[in-house]
Amino acid sequence: MLKYILGAFFILHGLVHLLYFGQSHRLFELRPGMAWPDGSWILSKLLGDDTTRLIASISLVLAALGFFVSGSGFLFQQPWWRPLVVGISIFSSAAYIILWDGKLQNFADKGFVAILINLAILVALLVFNWPEFES
């Protein structure tokens, strides 16, 4: 049962990235007036907000796809699920940090919760080597 819960968790975590894709691609607003990822502390100054939104959109789709594939690999007990979920957790966290606007207000709107979830995944997998399932 735990296998199905954790596999679904990885997949659902990836799907939440698609909500931020919709925000970054301006398909909808997650919250009225939310401008994320405009004003990215690194990318907006260097490339402008339009390019930043494009980079955010591509990154978030890749993160969603990575979590979906790693969650599926976990469910089917494939040997590659662990390195993939570690890599995509790091990628996702790096993307949100790069896309952050540098302000301390409204952390939840800027992917902070995703970073915390990614860190929890990394600690569980790399520090505690959890979960281990027998084949």
Q: What is the residue-averaged pLDDT of the chain?
A: 93
Q: What is the pTM for the complete model shown?
A: 0.92
The string of pLDDT tens digits covering residues 36-62 is: 999 999 999 999 999 999 999 999 999
The string of pLDDT tens digits covering residues 106-123 is: 878 888 999 999 999 999
Q: Write down the pLDDT at residue 135.
A: 45
The 3-state secondary structure of the chain, one letter per residue = CHHHHHHHHHHHHHHHHHHHHHHHCCCCCCCCCCCCCCCCCCHHHHHCHHHHHHHHHHHHHHHHHHHHHHHHHHHCCCCCHHHHHHHHHHHHHHHHHHHCCCCCCCHHHHCHHHHHHHHHHHHHHHHCCCCCCCC
Map out the domains of the chain as residue ranges: 2-127
In the chain, what percentage of residues exceed pLDDT 90?
Answer: 80
The pLDDT confidence band at residue 134, using thresholds 50, 70 and 90, is low
